[in-house]
Amino acid sequence: MQIQLNNVSFTYEKKKRKTTSFLAPPVLNQLHITIKSGEMLAIAGKSGSGKSTFLQLLKGFLAPTTGNVLLDDIDPNSSRKPELFDQVGYIFQYPEHQLFSTTVFDDIAFGLQSAKLPKEIKEQKVRKAMEVVQLDYEEFKDRSPFELSGGEKRRVAIAGVVVLEPKLLILDEPTAGLDLPSRTALFQLLHQMNEEQGLTIIWVSHQLDEIVNHASRLLALKNGIFIADGSPVTTLSDPELLESFGWEEPSALVVSRMLRQFGITSSNGKLSPEEAADAISLILNQQQILVK
């Protein structure tokens, strides 16, 4: 699914008949952007930069003050087709807080209730969603979501969105509060969904390493404007941009840059951990030979 934002601005202050002298500054200012199908898009920015507002516009929770949001060239807001936004799956921060049912199965099947599906199809869909998030159906379906571990709870919550088969998945800081193994597993999951089902994935992240390693595109938001848009490796190598956000260069990029500066490698861009290790061991070997 392709998403297009045309000249979108958003202000929280409601329009009044009497325009007062005080006008709230726009949270988002004239955004112009196209998100193509199958992208892994990371959004970064400080708190208050308009990230959540931007995401909520994509899901249709908010309507833009000016401009329009197009999902596959249709504007669901102006054409009064809010059901188009159902193609967008939205996973909030700490999604495990939304769990409410007595069993994992019921919780995941919540979104299917209003569709009135036959039991077998419902079961099939839940099974598939649980497979996607790597939870064993037989083992987990009858357990209470409240007795699961944090990572498992989060998977259940994600399955609750995935079960609706969205074409676009939005995640607001999906790795917040997760330990390293759960984080790695989550990104494995996202990559898998992205590759196998062609799902477009948009997520908010504050971890630059995470962005460099997993995103195909980075949008850096500051004061309601995208000040950077492009591949994370090039964007995050730009010292000016890094400084304007007060970010430190991601460690993977630092290593790649230093190896390049010393003339050990010639490749532009990010080295994978293996490549970096190879390059370093190569130079160490050379030194050993010299010493001998």
Partner 1 sequence: MGNNSFLLYRKQNTWLEQWDPRMKITVSLIFAASLLLNHNLLLKTAQIVLLIILWWIAKLSWRALVFTLLSLTIFFISTMIYQSILITNPGDSMIHLGFLTYSLQGAINGILMCEQIAGIVLLLSLLVRTTSPIILAEGLEMILKPFKKLRIPVHEAVMMFTIALRFLPILIEEIDKIRKAQMARGGGFHRKGISSRFRGIFPMLMPLFVLSILRAKELAVAMESRCYQGDEGRTPIRLYRLHPRDYSILAFSVFNLLLIFIV
8 A C-beta contact, residue 130 and residue 161: no
Tell whether residue 130 is a contact of partner 1 (CB under 8 A): no
Per-residue binder mask for partner 1 (CB under 8 A), 79-108, x = binder? ---xx--x--xxxx--x-xxxxx-------
The least distance separating partner 1 from the CB of residue 244, rounded to whole angstroms, comes to 24
92 vs 137, which CB is nearer to partner 1? 92
Instruction: For the segment 144-163, give every residue that binds partner 1 (CB under 8 A).
Output: 146, 160-161, 163
Tell whether residue 128 is a contact of partner 1 (CB under 8 A): no
Tell whether residue 247 is a contact of partner 1 (CB under 8 A): no
The least distance separating partner 1 from the CB of residue 90, rounded to whole angstroms, comes to 4
The least distance separating partner 1 from the CB of residue 87, rounded to whole angstroms, comes to 11
Cα distances (angstroms) measured from residue 161 to each of 123, 173, 197, 230: 15, 16, 15, 28
8 A C-beta contact, residue 87 and residue 161: no
**Helix H or strand E segment including 162:** helix 150-162
189 vs 280, which CB is nearer to partner 1? 189
Count how many Cα atoms sit within 13 Å of the Cα of residue 100 in the half-sphere of its side chain. Answer: 4
- Determine the distance from the C-alpha atom of residue 88 to the mean position of all C-alpha atoms in its chain, rounded to a whole number: 12
163 vs 259, which CB is nearer to partner 1? 163
Per-residue binder mask for partner 1 (CB under 8 A), 17-56, x = binder? ---------------------------------------x
Instruction: Write out the two tokens for 107.
Output: 């919780």
101 vs 103, which CB is nearer to partner 1? 101
Backbone angles phi, psi at 65, to 5 degrees: -70, -45
100 vs 262, which CB is nearer to partner 1? 100
Cα distances (angstroms) measured from residue 5 to each of 10, 70, 178, 227, 269: 12, 6, 32, 16, 30
Instruction: Write out the two tokens for 203.
Output: 């997520």
Tell whether residue 59 is a contact of partner 1 (CB under 8 A): yes
Give the span between the Cα atoms of 65 and 235, in whole angstroms. Answer: 29
157 vs 259, which CB is nearer to partner 1? 157
98 vs 103, which CB is nearer to partner 1? 98
Question: Binding residue for partner 1 (CB under 8 A) from 44, 58, 112, 204?
Answer: 112
The least distance separating partner 1 from the CB of residue 98, rounded to whole angstroms, comes to 5
- Residue environment code for 162-198, b if the CB has 16+ CB neighbours within 10 A, otherwise e: bbbebbbbbbbbbbeebeeebbebbbebbeebbeeee
Contact set with partner 1 (CB under 8 A): 12, 56, 59, 61, 82-83, 86, 89-92, 95, 97-101, 110-115, 146, 160-161, 163-164
